[in-house]
Structure formats: structure tokens, C-alpha cells
Structure 1
Amino acid sequence: MKLTCLWILFCLPLLANAQSNGARYRVEFTDKAGSVYDIPHPEAFLSERALSRRNRYHIPVDENDLPVSSVYLDSLKRHGFKVLYTSRWFNFATVAVVSPEDTAGVSKWNFVRSIKLTRPDNMLKNAIKKWSEIKTPATKSIQTEADDSYGYSSEQIAQLNGKVLHENGFKGQGMVIAILDAGFRAANQLAVFDSLFLQDRMLGIRDFVNPESNVFEEYQHGMNVLSLMGANTPGKLVGTAPDASYFLIRTEDENSEYPVEMDNYIAGLELADSIGADVINASLGYFYFDDPADNLNYDELDGKTLMITQAVETAEQKGMIVCVSAGNEGDNAWQHIIAPVDANGVLSMAAVNIAGERAPFSSTGPSADGRIKPEVAACGWDTWIQKYPDEIGVSNGTSFSSPLVAGLTACLWQEYPDKSPAEIVDAIIQSASQYASPDNYLGYGVPDFGKASLLLQETLADGDSEKQWKVSPNPFDENIRLEYQGNGLLDDASATFILISSTGTILKEERLSGRVELVNNLGALPSGLYFLQVITNGTTENHKLIKR
């Protein structure tokens, strides 16, 4: 599982000695002519694990996987630019430029599609306190003593019914989670992360903000996020994927907010792809910048306009699951979700407290084109995290609801490795508390990973047309109707239906009296997910039902 630094340096066209000073520009190229790589030999630019993931889910290697042309990069270097990193998917290079005058005429080079300033050399004073503590009244009793082997993590994991995955042996073993964030200060020194290093499950680090820095000496936000997945100190703090492996990627500059950070984010997604990550957590998002001219418009959050949104969707197409925070703008003038939450297929998280009440700061949907956003919710209000320098305490933000879900997503996928990313995400959404009646505050609600596991176990994706029994309506209110559609004989003694709760409790079991059966008086059942088994002539088929 352990990756070597030599492999990372070989496969990614990055300059480790790039200067951190100078303006940043994105140089987009017209094509990839002159590339020394080709599609028939992907092992030259993708890891064995990345290729294994592609093969498992029948994802082809295509032209946008090819690295940027080295010929074009050499031209930029000869011109005096420092190439910081490149994007395979969008065919651009991010460069550091000492003097803006050096960019004159570059846009007219025959292989350059465009050149755009993404961060000035003389940055404006940061007017956005993007990492300030979110203050909001506590609405639950905050633990003062550790609770069971999970310690302070107990309630926030139990809220997601995540302990059932752990009890069944799925704690993220063999799964790789990439974290895109602002820094991971002291993560290599804190006891809650000891097992990551002792067991060689800290696979690597990368800094796209400043290649010369050490992510363990930068801002602590990423360390806080990591603690919600990778912490493993029984009785004190345990993450949702304590046995997973991690790759830490710094893409966010905590001291400023410029569009270059969205390009850093794209580079981070591509690195995660290259190393073969399964799940990506990015508790980051964008809408306002230090220069108001760069600000996004809500209309742009339509799932297709922004490059960062397109990048998240590309990451999903490459076989990864991307988890993001919905944003903390619910109680300010913006209110909306932030980019790239608008991406199709992403798993974005609202924040609730342990009682399931929406945090007032949690950003709201829908996307600009009217889709339900965010997808689900988890504890991001009074969330127990590892803090710097060395204390366990509570904090607020959708930054913390996202990794809680991301870690359990990795555990669920570990249990069902043959399921596609879309099937895993769909099961999580279908398990959520308000799946039958979603809104744009909590999306489909708080997921139940025990239910999600049952959904995948029962292979409920089969259409009713392939089954012997048609069950309707779904969702249901008071009654359900079963109609036999099979070709075989059916008598009074040959069929039985069993209605089961999401926790496995048998609620009703009866013989069927004919080819059409009405099951009445179900109105008193709580809203949520149910399973119906119908046993016909010794054959069992499973149906999933939603009670409004």
C-alpha cells in the first residue's frame, strides 16, 4: 500500500523547487502534441492501483488522462516561467511569473489557448475570515467524559449508524482516502494519529500552495478534518475510517482567497486519481474572493459552468467518490451552496447537531439549475475533533460533517468492493432520513449506513419487471398492493410475504391468498425505509419500500 516519493515525482510533471513568489497564471494549451506518453501504455503515468480501479469499473483510459506536452512546458520554462503543476484533464499549467510583463504575447503562441491571471503578486489584504471559528449556541449536552470505546466520537458516529459497519469488521482497511485541505499541522506528532504512521497507512503528502513547505507545519484545518476519519485512540477519539490509508494534499492557502486555489484543487483531484484513491474529502468551497472581480455568481452553480465543478465530475467518472462540505453561508447574505457542491454525482453534506437539527450556518440549495442540494447531512454543529496544539474539543462547520460521511463511505465501499461508485452513493442517499421528501436544507437527510449496507446486500436494483411480484405504490402511505406476475402456478400455500424494518425486525408475516394481495393498516409505521420479502414456491425475492 505504501507509495514512494520517487513514484510521485516520476508520474507527475511538477517542479519540486518551484518558487512560491510571483503571480500565478493558468496557461491553457490547444492540444497535447509532442507528449512522450500514449494511451496504450498508461502504466507510465498512472499507478498500478489507479489502473486496477479503472479495470474494476470498466473505465477506459482516454486522451484527457495523458500528461501535458513536455514540449510546451519546456517552452514556458525557457521563457522564464516556473511551472508549479499541470492539469491532465484540462490541459493547462499553473506557472509563477516574476513580472506581469513577461506574459505579453504568450496568448499568441500557436499552442496556447489562453493565459489567465489566477493570483496577483501583490495580493490584496484578505477581507474574508474564511477560517474563523463559527460561533453558534450549543443545543445539545456536550459530553465531558469519554463514552464507550469511541470516546467523544460516539454520538456523532452513532447518529449515522456507522458503528454497525465497524462491528462487522469494516473500518476502511485497504481503502485509500485523499484529503484536500489547507494544512495538517502537527498530524505527524499527535497521538490520535500514531497508528497511521506505525502501520504505514500515511501514504504521502503534497503541497500545491507552496511546494517548498511541509503540510505538517501549515494550518491545522486539514488536521481537524483528518481526525474525524483517521483518529484512533479508543476511549478518546475514533474516526469513521480508523483503519483506512490516507494521502494528505494541501490545496488551500489560508491567508488569501484567489482563483488559483480552485486550480490547486483540480491538481489535487488529479493527484488523487493518479495514486489510486477511492474516496476524496474536500472540506473546501468557493464563491467570494479577495478581489471582488473574481467573485462567483449563483447562476454559475449549475453543474456544468465552472471548471472546478467539471473537475469533480471528471474525478467521479474516473471511479472515485468525492465528498464535499455544502458551505457555511446559510446565515449570511450569500446563503447558497458553494462551488463545487453543484457538481452532479458529488456527495455534499449539510450540518446538523446531534439531535438532527439543521445548523443555522449550513448553506442551502438548490443548485442554480434546480437540483436538490446538499445531498445528505451529518454532525457539523458541536462536532468533536482533534484540535491544535493537543486537545479534544468541539467545533462547528460543514467542514466536519463531510469527513464523517466520507470515512463511512469508504467503509461501506470496503464491504461492497464490486459496487460502482454511483451505486454506493445511491445507497447512502436512499438510506437517509428524509429520502421520501427531500428539501434544500438537509437534502435527503441524515444517512443510515446500516440501512445503506442492507440496500446493497439485498441487491435491490432489480426492476419490478424482472420480478414475479409487482409491489405498489412506492413510496406508500397506508397500504401496499402485491400482484403476481409470474408464469408459474400459485396456490394459497405457495407464497408468503414478510415486511421487515430497516433494523431487521419482522413487522408482519402472512400467507398470500391469491394473485393479488392488499396489505392494509400500515399508516402507523414511522416514515423511512422498509424491506419486503416474498417467498414463492421456495424462491425469495426482495423489494425496497419507502414509507412517507
Structure 2
Amino acid sequence: MKLAWLIILLYLPLLVHAQSTGARYRIEFTDKVGSAYDLSHPESFLSERALSRRIRYHIPIDEYDLPVSAVYLDSLKKHGFKVLYTSRWFNFATVAVVSPEDTAGVSDWNFVRSIKLTRPENVLKNAESKWDEIKAPSTKSAQGEPDDSYGYSSEQVAQLNGKILHENGFKGQGMLIAILDAGFRAANQLAVFDSLFQQNRMLGTRDFVNPQSDVFQEYQHGMNVLSLMAANSPGTLIGTAPDASYYLIRTEDENSEYPVEMDNYIAGLELADSIGADVINASLGYFNFDDPAYNFSYDELDGKTLMITRAVELAEKKGMIVCVSAGNEGDNAWQHIVAPADANGILSMAAVNIAGERARFSSIGPSADGRIKPEVAACGWDAWIQKYPEELGTSNGTSFASPLVAGLTTCLWQEYPEKTPAEIIDAVIRSASQYDSPDNYLGYGIPDFEKASLLLQKTVTEDKPEEQWKVSPNPFVNNIRLEYQRSGLLDDTSATCILINGTGTILKEERLSGRIQWINLGSLPSGLYFLRVITNGETENHKLIKK
């Protein structure tokens, strides 16, 4: 059974010929000499939002962030290669080559570390082998009246106790989720996504498979995944992060399975980093390819061997939370999780039904080095999704468990933005149903996001130093009141307050004059804000919500 656990897993009986525009090669460089960028000016290659994230979590800008050498890229272009994209983190370029003979001697160039074929020129793919239906109960169509405003998605959100986050005002506002997938067919036309486009929360798209294509015309699996997070159709379908912003990235070619798709994936991770994404969902995975010479062994799923796994770990180190599907191999010969679910520091998801029973297709852990995998579980067996062209229905796959958790993890992080990715992930894991007795099937179990929020609230209370300033009311409508809490003198020049929005942009900065001061913020839109107050060299941060 073929991979890339884009798991809508439809039955497609026809042979599909993938269009050939030349073979693909990964050319890895020895260094970055000749890069057009400098680490002292990261604003030239990282967005303001990305830089704000680095500052917030004290993440240094390092050599991994520096773009590849422009001099080396020019040499490739002059040789006749078409440079499709590059990787900052692994210092390589993916190129299209008209004839394999054109690569002769390139490995001897003094700045080339290696050159590897990642997809041959001619690809013949039987799509049925990649998109076999999972042998699970037949899917359902939307019938009858849904129970509440969540519509048909009510039970799958409630299973994770996620509604409490939404009720408390945390629906993903100000957060950015990047989705790596195979295509997002008709997402720009379907009613469940209307608010996403009307409110300008669809921040962009990118296609690494075919730069000339429109991701909204490509395969539907990414749209199905998106519906589990971004759908906002009361009484019909509500996603787990309905008010977040999204960036859609196509990295997977549904018509073939070659290593170039993992390089696409790495490029997608780096794009998510550069635009300042908070959370990445990638319902994709790899172990088996059209050419068996590329197949992985289980021993390689050890969290450190495979490049795609190391890339996911780097994404976490750059300040993002990465959520992936564990794979759908539980009832076949492979059985194990698939890459990059073996990565450290991420959330990989198993699939259960709404009763909490494990789906037999859900891939099994541990990682090759013995770590608990997958981490947690969510509904991926008869999960309600938006289908194409317009109907709602259920489908199966760990692909659908992952975005359910990813969306609520985003909302949880919105509630506790001062927490690091590792702290948020730890809270999700510790909240899960079998945290005290994890296994290789569901990991730590089904998360409880109300419990995760309470766990984080406790650590905030324990770690929080005595505040110098009391800020009220919170939530506020128009004005906030700042009152100095400590004894002693406070002169008119010793305190400054800085107001920052959810993207890290400074909106207002002013001196505080006296022990009590009112600040009018009535012109701000509703949402989450951060107030940083600096007093006599000491800094404290306050989270504010404007109604």
C-alpha cells in the first residue's frame, strides 16, 4: 500500500500519468559563502512576525536561518538547471534537469557536497495503490438535525473537551496555522470557509509541487483537513480553530511517491517559519516509495536519521508546534508509525472513533529508539469533514485526527502565549486519558484541553512573580487602568508601557506618569493583546482581551 498519509484515501481506479517536466535532483552545498544575506539583518529574510516569535521565546538567529549562496545558485542556473526552491536549514537546492546527462561532473564542483536524484523524469503511477480505502465502517452522510451549534462536528470536538476553550474566547484569533498537504480543492468556494476569506484570514498559498498551479484546483485532501480546523458554519460544521489565520502549502504530489515530496515538505516547513506560523499541521508521512530503492527501514525511524524527521525537529526549535498524523499502517505488514512521526518534540496523532476505540488502521509505535509513539489520539475513524464538491460526510484516517488536535493546541497556545512550544505540548500530553499508563497504540491517550488549560494556569500562577502593576478591567471594552502595587517612589520617567498585538507588532508606547493611569484603547478591534510594562529596569507582561 502506498504512502503519503494524506488520508482521504479514495478509490481511484484509473492509471494516472504524472506530468514530467524533467527529473528532480537535490544538490547539497558545502557552505553558504556568497549568500546575499547577513545574520545581522534577519529582517531581510524573516518576516516581522517570525522575528517577533524568535524574540518572544529567546530563539537565536543562526546559520541555519541564513539563505543559501546566491553565487552557487547562479552557477546552477548557468549550467542549465532550473532552480525550483532551496533549503536554508539543510543548505540544498532542488532543481529540474532536462537530461540526466546534464548532471555529469556536478558532484566534483568544489561547492557541491552531494547530488541525489529525488524523482525520475518519467513517472507512471497507479493511483489506486496510493489511495486505497481504509477497511473501516462505511462513511456516513449528513442526515437529521445536529445537536448544537457545532453541528455534525460536535462530538469530535467534545471528545477533546475543546468547546471550553472556545467558550472562554480562544478560537485561534491572532494565531497562524500553516497546512502542508496535497491540495485544497474548492476551499475558496465552499460555504464552510466563507468567514475565513471574508475576514481576510487566508493569508496565502504556495505550491512546491507545481509552482504554476492553483492549490484550490488541486487534490481535495488538504481541504478536508482544513475543514477540521477552519470550518465555521454554525449548526453544520465548526472546526477546532475557527478564528485562526491560515497559510496553505502544497507539498505532496498525489500521483506519485518519490523523495522529492519530502524535500517539498522541508521547503514548506521553512516557508512556515519565515512567515511566522505558530502551528504546522502536516497529515503526511513516508516509508514506502514507487521505487523500492528509496524505501525506509523501521530502524531509520529513530528521531535522528531521516532528513525529514530532523527538519520537523528544527521547526520546533525555531518556535513552532508541529502536528502530524502517525500513519495508517496498523493493519498491514508495516504496522509502524511513518516518518516524520518519529520526531522528537512534536505531536503525532493516532486515530480513534467517537467512543474512544482505536482504529485498527492507526499506525503503531514505538519509535525505533523506543520512545512512546504516537503521542496522543483523536477522532480519525468516522470523522466529520467537508467533502467535495459540497456534501458533508465522514471519512477515516489519522490525517483527520491530526488537525483536530492541531486546532485546539493553537487555541490553547493563544490562551497562554508566554509558554514555549515544549510547554504547550507537555500540557497536551499530561492532560491525556492514559498519561499514567501510555502504550504503543494511543500513546498517552485522548487529550482533555480543559485539563491542559488548568495545568498551564497552575504553572503560570506558581511561576508568576509579584506584579508591580495591576491592570484592569480584563477583558476590557475601551479603557484599561494601570495601578502601581509596590511601595516607594515612582517618578514620572521610570515606567514605560508597550502594547503589542497577536502578531508581535508594537501598536502603542508611552511613559507612565504617576501610580495610577488610564489608557484609552477603544479604537482597537476585538482580540488578544499583550501589555509589556518596564519599571526601573524590570519587565512584566500582561495578557489583555478586548471585547
TM-score by length of 2: 0.80
1:272 is aligned to: 272
| Aligned pairs, number | 446
* In the alignment, structure 1 residue 429 sits paired with structure 2 residue 426: no
Question: For residues 141 and 434 of structure 1, do their structure 2 counterparts lie closer, same or farther at Cα, with a shift above 3 Å needed?
Answer: farther
* In the alignment, structure 1 residue 327 sits paired with structure 2 residue 327: yes
1:448 is aligned to: 448
2:536 is aligned to: none
How far apart, CA to CA, are the structure 2 residues paired with 1:409 and 1:137? Answer: 29
2:410 is aligned to: 410
Question: For residues 189 and 164 of structure 1, do their structure 2 counterparts lie closer, same or farther at Cα, with a shift above 3 Å needed?
Answer: same
* In the alignment, structure 1 residue 52 sits paired with structure 2 residue 23: no
* In the alignment, structure 1 residue 304 sits paired with structure 2 residue 304: yes
The residue matched to 1:271 in structure 2 has which SS? helix
Checking the alignment, whether the CA contact within 8 Å between 1:153 and 1:384 is kept in structure 2 is: yes
Deviation by residue 1:437-458 (Cα, 9 ceiling, x = unmatched): 0000000000000000000001
1:131 is aligned to: 131
The residue matched to 1:333 in structure 2 has which SS? coil
Amino acid at match of 2:252: E
1:210 is aligned to: 210
Amino acid at match of 2:365: G
Amino acid at match of 2:368: A
* In the alignment, structure 1 residue 198 sits paired with structure 2 residue 198: yes
Question: For residues 441 and 461 of structure 1, do their structure 2 counterparts lie closer, same or farther at Cα, with a shift above 3 Å needed?
Answer: farther
1:361 is aligned to: 361
Deviation by residue 1:128-153 (Cα, 9 ceiling, x = unmatched): 63333323126999974322000000
2:229 is aligned to: 229
Deviation of residue 346 (structure 1)?
1.0
How far apart, CA to CA, are the structure 1 residues paired with 2:185 and 2:351? Answer: 24
How far apart, CA to CA, are the structure 1 residues paired with 2:115 and 2:346? Answer: 29
Aligned counterparts, 1:56-75, within 5 A: 56-75=56-75
Deviation of residue 36 (structure 1)?
1.4
How far apart, CA to CA, are the structure 2 residues paired with 1:142 and 1:203? Answer: 30
Checking the alignment, whether the CA contact within 8 Å between 2:142 and 2:392 is kept in structure 1 is: no
How far apart, CA to CA, are the structure 1 residues paired with 2:267 and 2:308? Answer: 10
How far apart, CA to CA, are the structure 1 residues paired with 2:386 and 2:219? Answer: 13
* In the alignment, structure 1 residue 173 sits paired with structure 2 residue 173: yes
Checking the alignment, whether the CA contact within 8 Å between 1:287 and 1:338 is kept in structure 2 is: yes
How far apart, CA to CA, are the structure 2 residues paired with 1:71 and 1:131? Answer: 42
1:525 is aligned to: none
How far apart, CA to CA, are the structure 1 residues paired with 2:34 and 2:21? Answer: 30
How far apart, CA to CA, are the structure 2 residues paired with 1:378 and 1:241? Answer: 15
Checking the alignment, whether the CA contact within 8 Å between 2:229 and 2:404 is kept in structure 1 is: yes
1:145 is aligned to: 145
The residue matched to 2:459 in structure 1 has which SS? coil
Deviation of residue 122 (structure 1)?
1.0
Question: For residues 122 and 78 of structure 1, do their structure 2 counterparts lie closer, same or farther at Cα, with a shift above 3 Å needed?
Answer: same
2:396 is aligned to: 396
Checking the alignment, whether the CA contact within 8 Å between 1:20 and 1:96 is kept in structure 2 is: no
The residue matched to 2:170 in structure 1 has which SS? coil
How far apart, CA to CA, are the structure 1 residues paired with 2:200 and 2:68? Answer: 32
Checking the alignment, whether the CA contact within 8 Å between 1:140 and 1:354 is kept in structure 2 is: no
Amino acid at match of 1:373: K
Deviation of residue 160 (structure 1)?
0.1
Question: For residues 139 and 227 of structure 1, do their structure 2 counterparts lie closer, same or farther at Cα, with a shift above 3 Å needed?
Answer: closer
Q: Tell me, which stretches of 5 or more residues in structure 1 are unaligned?
A: 1-18, 464-548
Checking the alignment, whether the CA contact within 8 Å between 1:139 and 1:353 is kept in structure 2 is: no
Deviation of residue 210 (structure 1)?
0.4
1:284 is aligned to: 284
1:220 is aligned to: 220
The residue matched to 2:96 in structure 1 has which SS? strand
Checking the alignment, whether the CA contact within 8 Å between 2:141 and 2:392 is kept in structure 1 is: no
Deviation of residue 119 (structure 1)?
0.1
Question: For residues 24 and 150 of structure 1, do their structure 2 counterparts lie closer, same or farther at Cα, with a shift above 3 Å needed?
Answer: same
Q: Tell me, which stretches of 5 or more residues in structure 2 are unaligned?
A: 1-18, 464-547
Amino acid at match of 2:375: E
Checking the alignment, whether the CA contact within 8 Å between 1:372 and 1:439 is kept in structure 2 is: yes
Aligned counterparts, 1:478-489, within 5 A: none
Deviation of residue 123 (structure 1)?
1.5
Amino acid at match of 1:212: Q
Checking the alignment, whether the CA contact within 8 Å between 2:382 and 2:395 is kept in structure 1 is: yes
How far apart, CA to CA, are the structure 2 residues paired with 1:138 and 1:452? Answer: 33
Aligned counterparts, 1:457-536, within 5 A: 457-459=457-459
How far apart, CA to CA, are the structure 2 residues paired with 1:144 and 1:368? Answer: 46
1:240 is aligned to: 240
1:518 is aligned to: none
* In the alignment, structure 1 residue 115 sits paired with structure 2 residue 112: no
Checking the alignment, whether the CA contact within 8 Å between 2:142 and 2:393 is kept in structure 1 is: no
* In the alignment, structure 1 residue 419 sits paired with structure 2 residue 385: no
Amino acid at match of 1:244: A
How far apart, CA to CA, are the structure 2 residues paired with 1:401 and 1:313? Answer: 20
Checking the alignment, whether the CA contact within 8 Å between 2:20 and 2:123 is kept in structure 1 is: no
Amino acid at match of 2:378: A
Deviation by residue 1:417-455 (Cα, 9 ceiling, x = unmatched): 000000000000000000000000000000000000000
Amino acid at match of 1:251: T
Question: For residues 20 and 52 of structure 1, do their structure 2 counterparts lie closer, same or farther at Cα, with a shift above 3 Å needed?
Answer: farther
2:491 is aligned to: none
Question: For residues 461 and 369 of structure 1, do their structure 2 counterparts lie closer, same or farther at Cα, with a shift above 3 Å needed?
Answer: farther
How far apart, CA to CA, are the structure 2 residues paired with 1:239 and 1:441? Answer: 25
Deviation by residue 1:9-42 (Cα, 9 ceiling, x = unmatched): xxxxxxxxxx960000000000000111011100
How far apart, CA to CA, are the structure 2 residues paired with 1:241 and 1:143? Answer: 25
The residue matched to 1:438 in structure 2 has which SS? coil
How far apart, CA to CA, are the structure 2 residues paired with 1:109 and 1:265? Answer: 27
The residue matched to 2:410 in structure 1 has which SS? helix
How far apart, CA to CA, are the structure 2 residues paired with 1:55 and 1:248? Answer: 25
Amino acid at match of 1:198: Q
How far apart, CA to CA, are the structure 2 residues paired with 1:273 and 1:56? Answer: 14
Checking the alignment, whether the CA contact within 8 Å between 2:140 and 2:394 is kept in structure 1 is: no
How far apart, CA to CA, are the structure 2 residues paired with 1:417 and 1:58? Answer: 13
Checking the alignment, whether the CA contact within 8 Å between 2:269 and 2:315 is kept in structure 1 is: yes
Deviation of residue 383 (structure 1)?
0.3
Deviation of residue 414 (structure 1)?
0.2
Deviation of residue 127 (structure 1)?
6.7
Deviation of residue 124 (structure 1)?
3.9
Checking the alignment, whether the CA contact within 8 Å between 1:126 and 1:290 is kept in structure 2 is: no
Amino acid at match of 2:356: G
1:487 is aligned to: none
Larger RCO (CA within 8 A; separation ≥ 6): 2
How far apart, CA to CA, are the structure 1 residues paired with 2:146 and 2:25? Answer: 49
* In the alignment, structure 1 residue 439 sits paired with structure 2 residue 435: no
How far apart, CA to CA, are the structure 1 residues paired with 2:196 and 2:164? Answer: 22
Deviation by residue 1:325-369 (Cα, 9 ceiling, x = unmatched): 000000011000000000001100000000000000000000000
Overall identity of the aligned pairs, in %: 85
Checking the alignment, whether the CA contact within 8 Å between 2:85 and 2:95 is kept in structure 1 is: yes
Q: Alignment RMSD, CA only?
A: 1.8
Question: For residues 132 and 70 of structure 1, do their structure 2 counterparts lie closer, same or farther at Cα, with a shift above 3 Å needed?
Answer: same
Deviation by residue 1:360-397 (Cα, 9 ceiling, x = unmatched): 00000000000000000000000000000110000000
How far apart, CA to CA, are the structure 2 residues paired with 1:236 and 1:140? Answer: 14
Aligned counterparts, 1:252-267, within 5 A: 252-267=252-267
Question: For residues 51 and 77 of structure 1, do their structure 2 counterparts lie closer, same or farther at Cα, with a shift above 3 Å needed?
Answer: same
